Amino acid sequence: MTRHRTPSRSRRTASEPRKSHGGGRLRLIGGEYRRRLLPVLDSPGLRPTPDRVRETLFNWLAPVTPGARALDLFAGTGALGLEAISRGAREALFVERDARVAQALCTNLGTLGATQRGRVVNADALAFLAAPPTDATPPFTLVFLDPPFRQQLAQPCCEWLERGWLAEEAYIYLETESELAPQVPVSWQLHREIRAGDSTGRLYRRLPADGS
């Protein structure tokens, strides 16, 4: 998400992890771990969500983040899930396909002393969602979904989330290429929207069964 033109975001493949700039540091911007700096692995396609986007998103989510159960799909650096933990989320589950990136995220959770609230699963996001939820993966109240661009992954992920992964009134943050008009479940109501460079982030609120 931090804009870096070589390689272009549009050339990311489904096997690439989220957000790249090479090695660097991730700065948490609010909450318990505010201003903590964490190393970012030097890996193609890996870069933290920009500070401005995270700050705006978590201002929107301020009423619901404390005590939340968060799911960070295509986690990459884990910037969104880590920010949620810093701001009071009860727990966060990070799903990351690349084994080296997943291990780096585990290390950063240890550096923060947050291993009791953060868990990393080294798995493909769609394969993870295709398996039935278990008692170890209770319904999530907050989901961060930032799939690789132009790989047609957003819609199937949204559909799979509706198969038992979401709490009744969950919030879902979906980031896609700006030219994409995402097809989301009818129970998801657009709450807020932000554009940064060639990407657009949309925050949805899942309506309860009675539609209120």
Q: CB neighbours (10 Å) of residue 151? A: 12
- pLDDT at residue number 2: 36
- pLDDT at residue number 18: 42
Biggest CA–CA distance in the chain, Å, is 48
Cis peptide before 50 (omega within 30 of 0): no
- To the nearest 10 degrees (0 to 180), the angle between helices 79-86 and 51-60 is 50
- pLDDT at residue number 14: 38
Using one digit for the tens of pLDDT, what is the confidence trace for 132-148? 888 777 799 999 999 98
Q: What is the pLDDT confidence band of residue 42, given thresholds at 50, 70 and 90?
A: confident
Q: Is 37 helix (H, G, I), strand (E, B) or coil?
A: strand
DSSP letter string, 158-183: HHHHTTTTEEEEEEEEEEEETT----
Across the chain, what does the average pLDDT equal? 86
- Among 105, 134, 117, 118, which Cα is nearest to 26's? 105
Using one digit for the tens of pLDDT, what is the confidence trace for 148-202? 888 889 999 999 999 999 999 999 999 998 888 889 999 999 999 999 888 899 9
Task: With beta carbons less than 8 A apart as the criterion, state whether 62 and 13 touch.
Answer: no
- pLDDT at residue number 16: 38
Task: With beta carbons less than 8 A apart as the criterion, state whether 207 and 189 touch.
Answer: yes
Q: Which residues contact 5 (CB under 8 A, 6 or more apart)?
A: none
